[in-house]
Amino acid sequence: MEIKQVNKAEILQKAVNNYTRMGYRVTSQTSDTAQLIKPKKFSCLLAVILLLLIILPLIIYIFMYMAQKDETVYLRVDDLGALYITDEHGKTRRVGNLSNDISSTVNTVKKWTDFLK
């Protein structure tokens, strides 16, 4: 049986070459050892996509919020107890005689203000 002489430097160099093709850099090397490092990479494409997914909807929401107006409702009760609701567009609705039932008035006002939205 013949024992073959191993060339450590050649084996190491082949391994180093394989790793350098994969993006690694040699930081130190001796005849039988090597230390390699693969630098991290910043993905501009991923950064832009994440920016658009997070920041763009926020900006759109802010502009939509700024474009909205506060809602105004004008309520008036006449001498007979009829409630009149006027919205911000000037539309007036009469809600009948509710002078005896305060909770009914509150519910009706809420329904009409929801309706007028």
61-70 per-position pLDDT tens digit: 899 999 988 7
Domain ranges of the chain: 8-37, 73-116
Mean pLDDT of the chain: 81
pLDDT of res. 27: 92
Residue with the larger pLDDT of the pair 18 and 90: 18
pLDDT score at 51: 85
The pair of structure tokens assigned to 78 is: 């006449």
Q: How many residues does the chain have?
A: 117
Report the half-sphere exposure of 16 (CA within 13 A, side-chain side). 18
Phi and psi (nearest 5°) for 15?
Answer: -65, -40
